[in-house]
């Protein structure tokens, strides 16, 4: 299998590690403009199967030349570049997947479904942790009922040793984090697709074990296309992010001060948006290097065999010390590269732009993730 990996940041680096752990990978082309990031990939670039392109992607023609001949492309670049990459891959006749996370970008990708189908390619956006793996878990949960009424999923990447006052550390792109905290959130309520504000509807989640009681609140992007996919057969679907208690109130305060706004303001000769300032402040002041953990908790209610029933599940993703990967790198990159592998192996049958819950063979995909990650799903009583 021949893969092209666009981006060699934290998640891209983890993608490369997984791709090269498979004997079936015969060639991996890594594209990254930042020489500092590439210098951290010594163990990867020494592999004879790896080809490194230290270049800046300027336009679609560059991308088409780069991805040609690949069985699948993995985009590990910031979400706002996904649309350009999608267009180029369709024109090149090459299938791709990305880590998604932004509702508007994904809807624009889905609008290219007919073009992708005509080109005979598969485009799967939103393939990371949440959205991504979470979509497939919801699809599996719904399939366990004769009639499913509601599904709720809670996901969070947390520091093992939280530092006050935010009790959080940067475990993935800070731009993606701010996007989750600022943009509107899509839910399915009473059978209708609705939009709610981020950082609202705080609830307590009793995760148990070392983590006790956490808080969960609305964040953008995590529900992805689930409300549209299951509208008409499920009445309630929502996604919330897990954090240590008290975090959401602090972020609400920053948002109240306007630090989530995109408008450019002038201050002492500096022209920038409050949102960019917030991203820079979080990047500078929040911890980055401590051990982390990813917690996933979901439950569903409905009817099976003529009786009302409820299922609750949870699992924990821990760092992979052997591969040198954080828990968030495992939880985001492994689901993504598995989609690329399924595409390359012909396990994704339908052509077009398809989100994970529609594209993937659910049971096979979950089994592959559990096998590769050594994660065990626990049923909550």
Q: pLDDT tens digits for 95-108?
A: 999 998 788 999 99
Cβ–Cβ < 8 Å for 99, 93: no
- Report the chain's mean pLDDT, rounded to a whole number: 94
List, in order, residues 6 or more apart from 48 with CB less than 8 Å away.
none
- For residue 369, count other CB atoms closer than 10 A to its CB: 19
More confident residue, 263 or 284: 284
H/E element, 15: helix 10-20
Tokens found for residue 317:
């993703």
Mean pLDDT (whole number) for 134-161: 97
For the chain, which domains are there?
2-128+330-370 (3.40.50.720), 133-325+372-379 (3.30.360.10)
Partner residues linked to 310 by β-bridges: 301
> What is the rounded CA–CA span in Å between residue 51 and residue 4?
9
Cβ–Cβ < 8 Å for 166, 181: no
pLDDT tens-digit map of 175-189? 889 999 999 999 999
* pLDDT at res. 41: 78
> What is the rounded CA–CA span in Å between residue 216 and residue 155?
8
* pLDDT at res. 24: 97
> What is the rounded CA–CA span in Å between residue 80 and residue 247?
26
R_g (Cα) of the chain, nearest Å? 20
- For residue 45, count other CB atoms closer than 10 A to its CB: 16
Number of helical (H) and strand (E) elements in the chain, helices listed first: 15, 18
DSSP E strand stretches across the chain: 2-6, 27-31, 50-53, 72-75, 96-98, 122-124, 147-159, 185-189, 192-196, 203-206, 213-218, 236-243, 265-267, 270-272, 292-304, 307-317, 352-353, 378-379
Tokens found for residue 354:
């398809």
pLDDT tens-digit map of 148-157? 999 999 999 9
The pTM (predicted TM-score) of the whole model is 0.93
Question: Does the pLDDT at position 270 exceed 80?
Answer: no
Question: Does the pLDDT at position 200 exceed 80?
Answer: yes
Q: Is 312 helix (H, G, I), strand (E, B) or coil?
A: strand
Q: With CA atoms as reference, report the closest residue to 68 among 47, 46, 51, 56.
A: 51
Return the biggest CA–CA distance within the chain: 68
Measured torsion, CA atoms of residues 53, 54, 60, 62, in degrees rounded to the nearest 10? -60
Partner residues linked to 38 by β-bridges: none
- Chain center to CA of 351: 22
Query: Sorting pLDDT into bands at 50, 70 and 90, what band is 38?
Result: confident
* pLDDT at res. 39: 78
> What is the rounded CA–CA span in Å between residue 120 and residue 126?
20
> What is the rounded CA–CA span in Å between residue 377 and residue 381?
13
Q: Which of 61-65, 85-89, 153-157 has the lowest mean pLDDT?
A: 61-65
């Amino acid at each position: 299998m021949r893969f092209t990996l666009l981006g060699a940041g934290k998640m891209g680096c983890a993608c490369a590690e997984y791709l090269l752990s498979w004997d079936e990978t015969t060639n991996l082309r890594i594209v990254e403009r930042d020489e500092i990031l590439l210098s951290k990939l010594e163990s990867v670039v020494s592999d004879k199967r790896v080809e490194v392109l230290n270049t800046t992607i300027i336009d679609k023609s560059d991308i088409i030349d780069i991805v040609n001949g690949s069985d699948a492309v993995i985009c590990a670049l910031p979400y706002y570049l996904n649309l350009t990459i999608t267009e180029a891959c369709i024109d090149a006749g090459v299938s791709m997947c990305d880590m998604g996370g932004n509702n508007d970008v994904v809807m624009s990708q889905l609008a290219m479904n007919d073009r992708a189908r005509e080109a005979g390619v598969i485009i799967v956006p939103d393939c990371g942790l949440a959205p991504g793996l979470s979509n497939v878990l919801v699809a599996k949960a719904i399939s366990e009922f004769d009639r499913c009424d509601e599904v709720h999923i809670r996901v969070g990447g947390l520091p093992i040793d939280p530092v006050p006052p935010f009790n959080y550390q940067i475990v993935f792109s800070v731009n993606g984090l701010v996007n989750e905290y600022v943009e509107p959130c899509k839910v399915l309520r009473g059978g209708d697709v609705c939009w709610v504000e981020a950082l609202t509807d705080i609830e307590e989640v009793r995760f148990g074990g070392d983590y006790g009681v956490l808080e969960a609140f609305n964040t953008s992007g995590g529900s992805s296309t689930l409300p549209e996919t299951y509208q008409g057969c499920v009445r309630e679907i929502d996604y919330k992010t897990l954090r240590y208690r008290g975090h959401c109130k602090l972020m609400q305060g920053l948002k109240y001060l306007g630090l989530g706004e995109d408008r450019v303001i002038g201050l002492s000769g500096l022209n920038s948006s409050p949102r960019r300032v917030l991203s820079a402040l979080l990047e500078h002041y929040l911890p980055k290097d401590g051990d982390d953990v990813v917690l996933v908790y979901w439950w569903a209610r409905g009817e099976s065999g003529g009786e009302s029933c409820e299922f609750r599940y949870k699992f924990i993703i821990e760092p992979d010390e052997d591969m040198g990967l954080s828990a968030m790198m495992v939880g985001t990159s492994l689901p993504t590269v598995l989609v690329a592998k399924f595409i390359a192996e012909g396990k994704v049958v339908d052509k077009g732009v398809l989100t994970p819950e529609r594209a993937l063979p659910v049971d096979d995909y979950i089994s592959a993730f559990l096998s590769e990650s050594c994660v065990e799903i626990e049923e909550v009583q």
